[in-house]
Amino acid sequence: MYKNNLLANSVRLALVSGAMTAAFTAPAVLAADEDGVERIEVTGSRIKRTDMEGANPVTLIDAAAIEKMSVNNVGDLLQNLTSSAGAAVNTQTNNGGDSSTRFSLRGIGSERTLVLINGRRVVAGGGGANSSVDLNTIPTAIVKRVEILKDGASATYGSDAIAGVVNIITKNDFEGFEIKLNYGGSDKGDAKTKGVDVTFGAESERGNVVVALGYSDQGDVFMGDRSFSEYELRAYEDGTTQQGGSSAPPWVNANTADGRVTRGPEYGDWRPYDGATDSYNYNPVNYLQTPSKRRYASVFSNYTLGEFGFLGEVNSFAEANYVQTTGNRLIAPEPLAPLVFFGSPAPYSPNNYYNQKMGPKDANGNAYQIDDWRRRMLETGGRANERDYKTFRTAVGFNGVFTNGWDWEVSYVWGQSDSVEKAQGYFNLDRVAEAVGPTGWLDSNGNLMVDGNGDAIVDAAGDQLVCLDADGGVIAGCVPLNIFGTPGSDDQVSQEMLQYISGDYNTTETGQNKQEVLSAIVSGDLFDLPAGSVGFAAGWEQRTESGSYTPDSLILQGITTAGSAVGTSGGYQVQEFFGELIVPILSDMPFAHMLDFEAAMRYSDYDTFGDNTSGKLGIKWMPVESLMVRATLSEAFRAPTTSDLFGGASVGFPEAIDPCDGNFYTDAEYAAIKASPNWANCTGTGVPVDGYDSGGVEQIPTNGGGSENWNGAVTLTPETADVLTVGLVFNPEFIENFSMSVDYWKIELDNAISTVGTQTRLDGCFNSNEYCETITRFGADSAAAGGIITVDNYTVNVGGIDTAGVDFDFRYSLESGFGDWGFGIDGTYLLQYDKYLADGSVIDHVGRFEGNHDGMFAEWKTNFTVNWSISDFNTSLITRYISGVTETEAGWWTDPFERDVDSNVVVDFQTNYAFNDHLTLTAGVDNVFDEAPPFVYSAFGANTDVSTYDVIGRTIYVRAGIRF
């Protein structure tokens, strides 16, 4: 085989420039043939070869580039890539996050990006029965490089590789001892981070072992500590904003027979409730960055066992990784509104002492029965969740070279992640109903004080105030609840009241993911052609995936404000056979320095839905040695996961607007709606003929879960995709030290495994009488008649995605009398992103932020890197650019309109100095100019998109590396 100067030069340029990414393939596994020429396995192919690139576009991030960033886990590293899009969660995601970091390549979902470690699968992570890998469990300290295959790869790796593959190559050949210490934080005094990583390795003639240990601690930031997120803001078409908030304030929102009233925020006499002035600002007490801690231990080893007949020289290998992550979530205190928020009637009795003393009164001075009451429980300090994730993964196996020169490997991978989540600040709805019911007084002898008719005396003072049941009996242990008191005053909700309605308990939920993979593979040269050897690989794989989620007993019963859920338990097994072929067509000819044809095929047999076959065709053409043209056409698929199939029903609260709710219209608009033919679709689901007003309920209780919840049977089939890539790599001889790559990609995803969506179901029912059977409302005899109890939105095969774009990468380096310079720019230009919904509508995502449809899809994303090194100094400047987008703002406060979201430019700086071979000091500033994220008012939470933008601001860090 020829020596590939194109890629050798390109990789060298990438390393010199210190660029964050280099769009060229790098070796994943190294070996040597009988001629001493290295044969390598490239990410995206199972065939070992002597050249370093195939037909697939692969981005490489090496250890030197990782050192130039302040990230300490692979998830944060990948989310900085320009090919990242959509709404993947990270530790800036508080409400809706799970202390994990995911990567959504091309923005089509983290579950459609396959993650590997050293070419082998990784167990999913999270709260249990998860669909993707938690990248927080992979610290950067153990990483030699990361290879991102941006192509459909199901024919090579199986399910999930629709958008591509992330292959993390670990440090398995380290020798010596190294310790790294880091410390940093924002210039505002928060977001403090600290950590230590220790790596040591030893080597002998027959093998090596590498051990890595580490600890990291990430501090919190509150929304109230940044000006852009201090308040929830509602935008208007004229460019103005208004502070918003919740209809459950700390000063009570009570819907009486004579209207909705409140006493706040000045705590004067009762008056009509006004959402514009009385809403509660919940932002300040929410995390903007969630705190977390991580401990890890990893071992990688190789040992040559010796010669074993036709097996040749046999090598054994073993990997073991253990990571424990603890993370916290804190959101605003519970908005206790039993009826309208949780569908659990808890009428506040007119015979409750606190209602009679402090509650609103009718014209005759009598207390009301208040069916719909809302009260923000500030006295709890907030709803806090603490998560403890433990992940263990091991891979063991043997490999070698048969005496005929073919490579072989057998391996076994086992992984398990366990989670425990504890929560506090939530309430037992059954006890709440008791505590707001009728009350009475016990005298000093413990007897119930009654009047002449034998009825309990309410409006009096006795020795002890107690709760009464419907028959007038005392409810043992019950403490009556006063929702009318002022937080911070003597009449606030007492600790005794809180203890009773919360049960003095923490909800506890547990979960698990398990994975076992047994595989065998052989690869080698079938025969020789004039242009070279025909490469071949074939293998077998058996994979078992399972998962479970066990909710707290009160969550299981559905009697807590923490939500309701049914446990999940299930799994599946798949047997797979795969083969791959590389055929050299031409070599060393005019306009055909090299022409290769590639093909791959995989057959998968699942015990849940049946079989699937995926194929791939590729071509690699080098008309001259400095130019390579590459193209692939592949079929990819994603099989339904455990949660897709067997996920137990659970209640979530997505933002949506009920088209039948009068709260979101003017009187004239609502009258026109009630006079329209569509009104029959509202009344058909239980809306009163005269309509209803929710009082501003924008988070709709929604049942989600696996497809089994629809009818007790598994009905899902795999989603499939056609993926096309066409690109070129150019290293012109007439421009020394310059290289470039440009790749066009297109993905057409069908039969997507997803949900219809709460808003789509509500709109579909109103507009066309579709999905109406999935909407459950309060009956006519309820105080909240017409209001939504739940919307069923379980997993189905629905719709699809068509997306296309261009990736580009340019590198240049030069030597000067004042140091060596490297320049690099990589980026993604999004041409198309059309999402097809269940109702047949198409949403164009390009250049848009869609709050209810998958997040941020900027048209342009680029990273520009400048690196300068002189003597023992090395300095880099990275500029990250995200183009402006358009968002749609809509709510009851304004008619829908579109607004422009500003572009975002963030500059990161780092410099380091190597004192000697043993000590290196590094200092850096992320977001040098303290660029605030642009306002995205339709985003959930912080008035911006926490999945895309840096929300912390300027941060400063230092790092010390000591090596022997």
Q: What percent of the chain has pLDDT over 90?
A: 77
Q: Whole-angstrom Cα distance, residue 134 to residue 670?
A: 46
Q: Evaluate if residue 450 carries a pLDDT over 70.
A: yes
CA nearest to 196, candidates 209, 210, 211, 178: 178
Exposure string of 2-28, with b = 16+ CB inside 10 Å and e = fewer, is eebebbebbbebbbbbbbbbbbbbbbb
Is the pLDDT at 333 greater than 80? The verdict is yes
pLDDT higher than 90, residue 596:
yes
User: Which pLDDT score, from 0 to 100, does residue 504 have?
Assistant: 64
pLDDT tens digits for 924-934?
999 999 999 99
Q: Give Dmax over CA atoms of the chain in angstroms.
A: 113
What pLDDT band is residue 408 in, cutting at 50, 70 and 90? Answer: very high
Strand partners, 185: 956
Q: Which residues pair with 256 in a beta bridge?
A: 259
CA dist 790 to 84, 134, 242, 695, 774, Å?
A: 34, 30, 30, 17, 8
Q: How far apart are CA 535 and CA 40, in angstroms?
A: 12
| pLDDT tens track for 334-370 | 999 999 999 899 999 999 999 999 999 999 999 999 9
The reported pLDDT for the residue numbered 451 is 87
Residue-wise pLDDT tens digits, 513-542: 999 999 999 999 999 999 999 999 999 999
Q: Which of 461-475, 695-709, 901-915 has the highest mean pLDDT?
A: 901-915
pLDDT for the residue 459: 80
Averaged over 780-799, what is the pLDDT? 92
What SS3 class is residue 673?
helix
Torsion of CA 855, 860, 861, 864, to 10 degrees: -170
By three-state DSSP, how is residue 642 classified? Answer: helix
Average pLDDT over residues 205-217: 95
What are the φ and ψ backbone dihedral angles of 242, each rounded to 5 degrees? -135, 140
**Among 370-374, 605-609, 838-842, 931-935, where is mean pLDDT lowest?**
838-842
User: How many whole angstroms separate alpha carbon 891 and alpha carbon 48?
Assistant: 57
String of DSSP letters for 846-890: TTEEETTTTEEE-SEEEEEEEEEEETTEEEEEEEEEE--EEEEEE
Give CA–CA dist 893/366, Å, rounded: 35
Distance in angstroms (rounded) separating the CA atoms of residues 927 and 758: 37
Q: Residue 948: pLDDT above 60?
A: yes
Mean pLDDT of 686-697: 91
Structure tokens at 341: 């928020």
pLDDT value of residue 55: 82
Beta bridge partners of 544: 516, 573
In 402-506, at which residue ranges do the beta strands (DSSP E only) sit? 407-424, 439-442, 464-467
Tens of pLDDT along 458-482? 887 778 999 999 999 999 999 999 9
**Confidence check: pLDDT of 31 > 50:** no
CB 427 within 8 A of CB 500: no
Residue 690 has pLDDT above 90, yes or no: yes
Which pLDDT belongs to residue 24?
31
Q: For residue 522, give Cα distances in angstroms to 233, 599, 878.
A: 60, 16, 42
- Per DSSP, the residues of 719-734 read EEEEEEEEEEEE--TT
| Conformation bin of residue 306: beta by default, left when phi > 0, alpha when psi is -120 to 50 | left
What is the reported pLDDT for 21?
37
Between 412 and 14, whose confidence is greater? 412
Query: Which of 96-100, 355-359, 832-836 is least confident?
Result: 96-100
Tokens 């799994």 locate to 571
Question: What order do you get walking across the sheet with 38-42 strand by strand?
Answer: 27-32, 38-42, 48-49
- Asked if the model's pLDDT at residue 174 lies above 60, the reply is yes
When pLDDT is averaged across residues 589-593 and rounded to a whole number, the result is: 94
Region label for 95, one of left (φ > 0), alpha (ψ between -120 and 50) or beta (otherwise): beta
Mean pLDDT of 404-431: 96
Residues pairing with 541 in the sheet: 519, 576
Distance, CA of 661 to CA of 675 (rounded, Å): 14
The single-letter code of the amino acid at 697 is: V
Which parts of 735-795 are beta strand (E)?
A: 738-750, 753-754, 775-777, 788-792
Q: Can you give the pTM of this predicted structure?
A: 0.90
CA distance 699 to 762: 13
Phi and psi at 532, nearest 5°, equal: 145, -170
**pLDDT averaged over the chain?**
91
* Confidence bin at 712 (pLDDT 50/70/90): low
Strand, helix or coil at 749? strand
Query: Contact, 163 vs 112, CB < 8 A?
Result: yes
Query: Looking at this protein, which amino acid is placed at residue 748?
Result: E
3-state DSSP call for residue 539?
strand
- Residue 714 is predicted with a pLDDT of 63
Vertex 543 angle, CA 538 and 544, to 5°? 170
- Greater model confidence, 941 or 508: 508
For range 258-275, the mean pLDDT: 86
Taking the alpha carbons at both ends of the chain, their separation in whole angstroms is 39
DSSP-based helix, strand, coil % in the chain, nearest 5: 15, 50, 40
CA distance 158 to 717: 15
**pLDDT at position 49 over 80:** no
pLDDT range class, residue 268, cuts 50, 70, 90: confident
Nearest alpha-carbon partner for 301 in 118, 487, 97: 118
pLDDT in tens, 716-766: 899 999 999 999 999 999 999 999 999 999 999 999 998 898 998 999 999
Cα separation, 614 vs 88, in Å, equals 27
Question: Is the bond preceding 551 in cis, omega lying within 30 degrees of 0?
Answer: no
pLDDT of residue 50 exceeding 80, the answer is no
pLDDT per position as a tens digit, 623-656: 999 999 999 999 999 999 999 999 888 888 888 8
- pLDDT above 80 for 33: no
Mean pLDDT of 186-203: 96
- pLDDT, tens only, 863-887: 999 999 999 999 999 999 999 999 9
What pLDDT score was predicted for residue 27?
A: 31
CA pair distance 156, 174, nearest whole angstrom: 29
CA atoms within 13 A on the CB side of 815: 3
| Close Cβ partners of 596 (under 8 Å, ≥ 6 residues apart) | 55, 582, 583, 584, 585, 619, 620, 621
Q: Which residues of 80-112 are buried (b: 16+ CB within 10 A; e: fewer)?
A: bbbbbbbbbbbbbbbbebbbbbbbbbbbbbbbb
- Predicted pLDDT at 505: 66
Mean pLDDT of 901-918: 95
Residues contacting residue 172 through CB under 8 Å, at least 6 positions apart:
118, 144, 208, 210, 300, 301, 302, 319
- The two three-digit tokens of residue 38, written as one number: 């290295």
Structure tokens at 147: 């290879």
Percent residues over pLDDT 70 in the chain: 95
